[in-house]
Structure 1
């Protein structure tokens, strides 16, 4: 037990130290996710201000500051708290004989760097797409995912507004994706991570962007807005699940963009009773849903 507690303490303190050094610019710029997140957020926010899709939406839209807090909480504060737990599990798996290469299908370590990065990006994006589908399909998971879908006005910061329990689900499955690639993360994986943050911010931004013919490959704000639509196609539990790539939705027929005005209502049936503050939103998933709440797609017409 002592080695597990040591692993927890070392990982926790190491993550705290790294985060603090990042704030002080004492880490290489390409691994400085703190200021990288700040820089990407400012750039996308300025694009929202300069080229607003919904022109009547305020610069400081509804829940702007709540979403901004979620960004830093999920990306850094919770990462610090959970880092020790993941390290303990890593030690446990090692003791059980389970290594990073246990599930390896292919080892990409000898591939050219561009091929490593591309494979890493595609595999992890598919794992996240699949996880996202699960969050919508199963009520117990959807109950947590409602935090992200409680956004009523879309903006870049909504990208990282999600219940901390989603990290519990996403992280192991992403590790599974890495294990498939031989337990190997490319040396320049920071390129993939920063690209994913940028695409995610843009997808939630108040910007009308479709990428032209590339819309069949990359996710975009128009497509993702319909993922957050209050009214979904009849019988559907969700559409447009893509994270960075839209191609999974086109391949598995979960794509849906009937128009591009950007004026649709966002949310989900019953969201008028959803908590408005951070603490109660993050306690919500552990409570039993009210009987009057319904699954996505159960309502055919928007409110009012």
Structure 2
């Protein structure tokens, strides 16, 4: 038990020191904090210059709420919960494996570090994205998980910052499911993964942006604003009642597994979910949902 307490303490102190370095710009090109700011400003600029919904305000409904979510979820949530939790669970998992004289490397198919860097990063990205696509489907199919995912679907006007409006429990689910698949292929260091991180953040921001883009033939590979808006549609036909277009970065999984749905131009469709009129509108009550659910 003392070992786990030390892990939690070290996780907090280590991440706090890392976060200070990010804020003071003591890291190099892979600075996640300022990288997020730069990507957000660039995509917001595109929204202002080339708006799809021209009557949507630049400072749209819930713009500041989503902006707060952006920084809270990507930085403060890690400090409060995720780093300590993930490090502790990883250690507990390793300790359980040791009982059977095993380790995570016992299941490792190969190590991406032994591949050419471009190939290793590609494998890392594809495995991560596919696992997250499946996890996203679970968030829509499992009632308990859907209650958490409602926070993201409470967005009523799409814009880049809506990308990172999500319940604190979501990354716990994603990271837990992603842990073993990534352990099987080995791990890249943080600086290398930054390339994948910045790419996925940019695509995610664009998916939620007020932009009339589908990338032409590349729409069959990459998720895009015209496709992703249907994922947020409030009303869907019965055959896709659990949702569609689950792709985070890649749309190819949806086309391969027949979960794609784009019946027509969705520029002006209503967003949300059934009963969202009674859903909490503020950050605190959204984060406490469904614990504060009235029925």
Q: Same fold by TM (over 0.5)? A: yes
The superposition leaves residues 172-218 of structure 1 with CA deviations (integer Å, 9 ceiling, x where unpaired) of 2222221121x222662111011010000000000111111111110
Question: 2:253 matched to 1:248?
Answer: yes
- Aligned match of 1:12: 12
- Aligned match of 1:28: 28
Task: State whether residues 102 and 179 of structure 1, in contact with CA within 8 Å, keep that contact through their aligned partners in structure 2.
Answer: no
Distance in 2, Cα, partners of 1:103 & 1:88: 20
Structure 1 pair 150–105 and aligned structure 2 pair: CA distance change class (3 A): same
Distance in 1, Cα, partners of 2:42 & 2:173: 30
- Aligned match of 2:134: 130
Q: TM-score, normalised by structure 1?
A: 0.91
Q: Which deviates the most, 112-121 or 88-97?
A: 88-97
Question: 2:144 matched to 1:140?
Answer: yes
Task: State whether residues 139 and 145 of structure 2, in contact with CA within 8 Å, keep that contact through their aligned partners in structure 1.
Answer: yes
* Structure having the larger proportion of residues in helix: 2
Distance in 1, Cα, partners of 2:111 & 2:65: 42
- Aligned match of 1:286: 291
Match of 1:120 among 121, 124, 127: 124
- Aligned match of 2:54: 55
Question: 2:91 matched to 1:91?
Answer: yes
Secondary structure at the aligned position of 2:121 is classed as helix
Report the Cα offset of residue 288 of structure 1: 5.0
When the two chains are superposed, the root-mean-square deviation of aligned CA atoms in Å is 1.4
The superposition leaves residues 89-120 of structure 1 with CA deviations (integer Å, 9 ceiling, x where unpaired) of 22222322264424323332221111111111
Q: How does 1:1-304 map to 2 (within 5 A)?
A: 1-30=1-30, 32-82=31-81, 83-96=83-96, 97=98, 99-181=103-185, 183-185=186-188, 188-235=192-239, 236-287=241-292, 290=295
Unpaired stretches in structure 1, ≥5 consecutive residues: 291-304
The superposition leaves residues 120-139 of structure 1 with CA deviations (integer Å, 9 ceiling, x where unpaired) of 11100001100000000011
Distance in 2, Cα, partners of 1:240 & 1:16: 36
Report the Cα offset of residue 285 of structure 1: 2.1
Distance in 1, Cα, partners of 2:184 & 2:109: 5
Q: 4+ residue runs of structure 1 moved beyond 6 angstroms?
A: none
The superposition leaves residues 63-93 of structure 1 with CA deviations (integer Å, 9 ceiling, x where unpaired) of 0000001011110111111212222222222
Task: State whether residues 178 and 185 of structure 1, in contact with CA within 8 Å, keep that contact through their aligned partners in structure 2.
Answer: no
Distance in 2, Cα, partners of 1:26 & 1:208: 38
Report the Cα offset of residue 2 of structure 1: 1.7
Distance in 1, Cα, partners of 2:103 & 2:166: 30
The superposition leaves residues 18-54 of structure 1 with CA deviations (integer Å, 9 ceiling, x where unpaired) of 1111010011221x11111111000000000000000
